[in-house]
Structure 1
Amino acid sequence: MMDENEISYLIRGAIFNVYKNLGPGFLESIYELALEFELREKGLKCEKQVSLPFYYRATELGVFRLDLLVNDKVIVEIKSVSELMPIHHKQLISYLKLSGLKLGILVNFNVENISDGIFRKVNGL
């Protein structure tokens, strides 16, 4: 069974493959499909648009959706924007807290160099 760091390494490789094949300029939904394909090819369990319940004061009020959930351990939040804003980072941290998971990866595919578009976020629990 792989830990979060091993899964993260494979996710990063998949992100590089998608970027190499598509480059910048597509909608997030296209990157989501391509990344899901790459992750499954690497033998990872990958679910897209996963609904998780949102509770406020012990009452379920609705759901929030994760772009990708990999091996039930790592959240991948996909963006294709000209510039990531602080709220994008905070969004992933909130998802980690609400889900109880430890690791998330925020990726912005709309960059000149994909290395500049990948961010690891850790839930301090």
Structure 2
Amino acid sequence: MGTEQLIKLIINTAYEVRSHLVAGYIESVYKKALLLELGEAGLKVEDEVELPVQYKGHVIGNFRADIIVEGSVIIELKAVAHLLPAHEIQLVNYLTIAEIDNGLIINFGAAERLEIKRKYRVYTPHI
């Protein structure tokens, strides 16, 4: 499956979860449902992947990526009223450290609708 097909499948799966779990739950509830759905779709999913933060050759801490799908897409989940620029920066940092090119922020907390943003480790516009 290509990256674009995988991204579409993840997004459709998130909408499926949202159709059953409206806004108001904590992030871990949406995460468990999304992990279940992605696994049932036959995808390889990794939960709470530790990403070491290095500074001058020393590991000084760790990030935890919520979900990595097929080793090629990082999903950062939120259950907040609105996404903030800091959430986008967080995901780009994860992508950089993990050397993964594509990521999605999926916010289940917005009352009106599911909020999804796609981020890239390195953005290259299509010409």
Contact 2:92 2:119 in 1 (8 A): yes
Paired residue for 1:113?
113
Contact 2:51 2:94 in 1 (8 A): no
**TM-score using structure 1 length:** 0.93
Find the residue that maps to 1:44 and give its secondary structure. coil
Which structure: greater helix fraction?
1
Paired residue for 2:122?
124
Q: Which moved more, 1:3-12 or 1:35-44?
A: 3-12
Alpha-carbon shift at residue 6 of structure 1 (Å): 1.7
Alpha-carbon shift at residue 52 of structure 1 (Å): 1.7
State the one-letter code of the partner of 1:47: E
Give the 5 Å matches for 1:83-98: 83-98=82-97
Alpha-carbon shift at residue 3 of structure 1 (Å): 2.7
Return the alpha-carbon distance in structure 1 between the equivalents of residues 29 and 90 of structure 2.
21
State the one-letter code of the partner of 1:122: Y
Return the alpha-carbon distance in structure 2 between the equivalents of residues 6 and 60 of structure 1.
35
Return the alpha-carbon distance in structure 2 between the equivalents of residues 102 and 28 of structure 1.
24
Return the alpha-carbon distance in structure 1 between the equivalents of residues 2 and 75 of structure 2.
15
RMSD between aligned alpha carbons? 1.1
Say if 2:30 is the partner of 1:57.
no
Unaligned runs of 5+ in 1: none
Unaligned runs of 5+ in 2: none
Give the 5 Å matches for 1:31-42: 31-42=30-41
Alpha-carbon shift at residue 113 of structure 1 (Å): 1.6
Alpha-carbon shift at residue 62 of structure 1 (Å): 2.6
Find the residue that maps to 2:92 and give its secondary structure. helix
Paired residue for 1:77?
76
CA deviation map 1:6-32 (0-9, x unaligned): 211110011001000001110001111
**TM-score using structure 2 length:** 0.91
State the one-letter code of the partner of 1:113: R
Alpha-carbon shift at residue 57 of structure 1 (Å): 1.1
